[in-house]
Amino acid sequence: MKKIAVFTSGGDSPGMNACIRAVVRTGIFRGLEVYGINRGYEGMIEGDIFLMNSHSVSNIVQRGGTMLKSARSSEFRTPEGRKTAYEQLSALGIEGLVAIGGDGTFTGAKIFFEEYGIPTIGCPGTIDNDIYGTDYTIGFDTAVNTALEAIDKIRDTAAAHDRIFFVEVMGRDAGFIAVESGIGGGAEFVMVPETQTDLNMVVNTLKSHREFRSSSIIVVAEGDDLGNADHIMAIVKEKIQDPTREFKVTTLGHIQRGGSPTARDRVLGSRCGMGAVDGLIAGKTNCMSGLMNNELVYTPFADCIGKHKPLHPDHLALMEILNI
């Protein structure tokens, strides 16, 4: 293997730049030519591909976002789109790919490998942490800390006005951000897609808290089974039937996706990036380079996409215990 290419795809996450940097510098260190592909699969189809050197990735390790930009490509979902992408890569003699992204990215990479056989290794880049085969995904730690900082600030004003706040965090299909920011931020409740929310219990507890605790924080993952934070707040307000209580909703949104990555995300991104290049050189393919129990492991894309990564049961238990 002489030439490899790296790209980022799907939702960006803080630490992707550290991962790109590690891929480029590991590749060069091991004697490879490393190309960058702009805008994920879109750029692959358009041939927006350029040769990188070690200076191409200077001064990016501390930055959020991704220097290679990202996109969600509908064209790559078509056989024609993938054929064009293959032709672009072949024209440059690219023999290996590093795909940094989440389950959508890996689904595309798996199909592409099965059709055209270009060895591909993924690195888990998503704030959601919902990828099987790695304890944490690149960007999750930064996103949780961003959410936590916001929750701390909301708590100040919630307490000052004795209000009940519903804070909506990201997580379409997974409650990792909600649970960890909820535990860290001392939330009264956390509502996540993985568990059924018992609203009557929430309402009764909020009523009973009235005597000794007049402000509350409820963290809602955007993908909760009952709907978004606005919707849940309206139902709770209706059920509590107490005009003296005030309810507010704060949706944190895309601020969770940006910002300077934490040390954990930089190190995780760097280790996964190095692992991806070394894996390609060792002949591995169609798998993801992740960290489990602080060791580098390669997990087949089929498992990363197909297996469900559960919330830690201790985290769910803690939410119940800490709320008494």
Summarize as ranges the residues that interact with ligand F6P (CB under 6 A): 11, 102, 126-128, 170-172, 222, 257
Q: How far apart are CA 88 and CA 68, in angstroms?
A: 17
R_g of the chain, CA atoms, integer Å: 22
Q: What is the bridge-based pairing of β-strands 216-221 and 287-292?
A: unpaired
Considering only CA atoms, which of 175, 167, 165 is closest in space to residue 196? 175
The string over 151-183, giving b where at least 16 C-beta atoms fall within 10 Å of a residue's C-beta and e elsewhere, is beebbeebeeeebbbbbbbbbeebbbbbbbbbb
Q: How far apart are CA 63 and CA 17, in angstroms?
A: 7
Structure tokens at 68: 């290679």
What is the closest distance, in whole angstroms, from the C-beta atom of residue 172 to ligand F6P in the complex?
4
For residues 88 and 256, which CB has a smaller minimum distance to ligand F6P in the complex? 256
For residues 193 and 279, which CB has a smaller minimum distance to ligand F6P in the complex? 193
128 noted as active-site residue: yes
For residues 42 and 222, which CB has a smaller minimum distance to ligand F6P in the complex? 222
What is the closest distance, in whole angstroms, from the C-beta atom of residue 39 to ligand F6P in the complex?
14
For residues 131 and 217, which CB has a smaller minimum distance to ligand F6P in the complex? 131
Q: 118 Cβ partners below 8 Å, 6+ apart? A: 86, 89, 94, 95, 96, 97, 112
What is the closest distance, in whole angstroms, from the C-beta atom of residue 174 to ligand F6P in the complex?
8
What is the closest distance, in whole angstroms, from the C-beta atom of residue 198 to ligand F6P in the complex?
24
Of the listed 12, 48, 103, 128, which one is catalytic? 128
Supply the residues annotated as catalytic: 128
